[in-house]
Amino acid sequence: MITINKKRMLTEFFELVKTNSPTKDERTVADMLIERLRNLGMTVTEDNAGQMIGGNCGNIIANLKGTLPMAPIVLFSAHMDTVQPCLNIEPVLNDGLITAAGQTILGADDKSGIAPILEALRTLQEQAIPHGDIQVVFSVAEEGGLNGSKNIDKTKLIADLGYVLDSGGKPGNIIIGAPGQDRINITIKGKAAHAGVEPESGINAIVVAAQAISRLKTGRIDEETTSNIGTIQGGRVTNIVADRVEVTCETRSRSLGKLERLTAQMCEVFNYCAEEAGAISEIEVIRLYDPLNIAKESKIATLSVQAVKSAGLTAEFGVTGGGSDANNFNRYGVPCVVLGTGMQKYHTTDESIEEEDLYQSAKLLLEIIRAVAQIDKREISSFTD
């Protein structure tokens, strides 16, 4: 019977959330994790993603040799960075619920993913559970565009399947669908003129942008598609017709075709309104990540359900409106689903997690390891089949 050292795990979770790790400043927590992974006998490397994105730390990639050489290699991943306000977090446990004491987030997103991975690895070794090779990726800069996994050294990804611990919902919640996202940066260049003397000689870039925005459908487009106008900046003073405005937008969809069509439509509207007014539009589209779509009937999905049930949990498939590193790992050829860790109200100062969910996540990972260990990878062509 698998048992989790709850006291050790809770202590480690508190240590993790109290360690500052804002996006692109994950160095301190990364050094802590490197030491702990090496103490577990893992081979640990750090890639140069940090240099590529202007951070102080790269993705941490660790490998553990298994006792069953023919079992598939399984990946477990979580991200190290946390959203603001995340400095000097003080976690508090009250009646089984963990929250932050002050006006900060808790950092369960995503340290409630890191702690179960570490505890599962320790338990695996202490209880001599047979297992195949295991790969761990602790990524940087996941918040704000999956920039760590986007710039990961793909040659180091050797896993046959993977699990990203980075979602709300109880342990047992299996995310098999997530949107892709485009970021759209738009610059409208009008013509300056004195707003009181000769306004008709100017072309107001703010008005052009407003006309374009008024023609767009935003928010919920359909059950798998959304769009949003995020920021708008422009103009200098009230007595000058604004000759420049910058707008940032995003589109998301679990359907790649819908994502591409919605992005194209948004660009077309801004271009049309600019041309109609005699202004100039400059548009940059950045694909942040592609959609994630895993079939319920696929081997990785059915294997996940098997492990959830073995852990005594309730399996539930779900989809989400946000991306995770799993979007990129799937694109790189490592089939991944996302696991719920129990984090609640993440990205807010009301963030919390139930203590028991931490322990259940660790138990689930051990059941996943045991389920994967029963498979001969020579008999599996693809876990997405």
In the prediction, which pLDDT does 2 show?
81
Residue 1 in this model has a pLDDT that exceeds 80: no
Q: What stretches of the chain adopt beta strand conformation (E)?
A: 43-46, 60-64, 74-79, 91-94, 97-100, 134-139, 161-168, 173-178, 180-189, 219-222, 225-234, 244-253, 280-289, 292-293, 316-319, 336-343, 352-354
Active site residue 357: no
pLDDT at 135: 98
pLDDT tens digits, one per residue of 184-220? 999 999 999 999 999 999 999 999 999 999 999 999 9
Catalytic residue among 109, 110, 119, 142: 142
Tell me the Ramachandran region of residue 345: left when phi exceeds 0, alpha when psi lies from -120 to 50, beta otherwise: left
Cis peptide before 85 (omega within 30 of 0): yes
Percent of the chain, pLDDT > 90? 96
What values do phi and psi take at 61, rounded to 5? Answer: -125, 120
Measured CA to CA, the distance from residue 155 to residue 348 in angstroms comes to 36
* Segment 28-68, tens digit of pLDDT: 999 999 999 999 999 999 999 999 999 999 999 999 999 99
pLDDT band with cut points at 50, 70 and 90 for residue 377: confident
pLDDT of residue 380: 83
Closest Cα to residue 267, out of 184, 360, 339? 184
Residue with tokens 């990878």: 377
Q: Which pLDDT score, from 0 to 100, does residue 356 have?
A: 97
Candidates 344, 354, 339; CA nearest to 307 is 339
DSSP letter (8 states) at residue 72: P
pTM: 0.92
Note the pLDDT of residue 190: 97
Kindly indicate the confidence band of residue 385, based on its pLDDT and cuts at 50, 70 and 90.
confident
Cα distance between residue 319 and residue 384, in whole Å: 17
Domain ranges of the chain: 6-178+291-379, 180-289
Tokens of 200: 């008709």
Share of the chain above pLDDT 70, in %: 100
* 222 has a pLDDT exceeding 90: yes
Predicted pLDDT of residue 98: 98
Distance CA 140, CA 152 (A): 9
Task: Evaluate whether the domain defined by 6-178+291-379 bears CATH number 3.40.50.300.
Answer: no
Ordered strands of the 91-94 beta sheet: 91-94, 97-100, 352-354
Mean residue pLDDT across the chain: 96
How far apart are the C-alpha atoms of 330 and 178, rounded to whole Å?
Answer: 11
Fold designation for 180-289? Alpha-Beta Plaits (3.30.70)
Q: Which of 25, 81, 354, 367 is catalytic?
A: 81
Question: Given this chain, do its domains 6-178+291-379 and 180-289 carry the same CATH topology?
Answer: no
Q: Is 81 a catalytic residue?
A: yes
Distances (CA, A) of 340 to 51, 153, 154, 176, 178: 31, 26, 25, 11, 13
Question: What's residue 344's pLDDT?
Answer: 97
User: What is the pLDDT confidence band of residue 384, given thresholds at 50, 70 and 90?
Assistant: confident
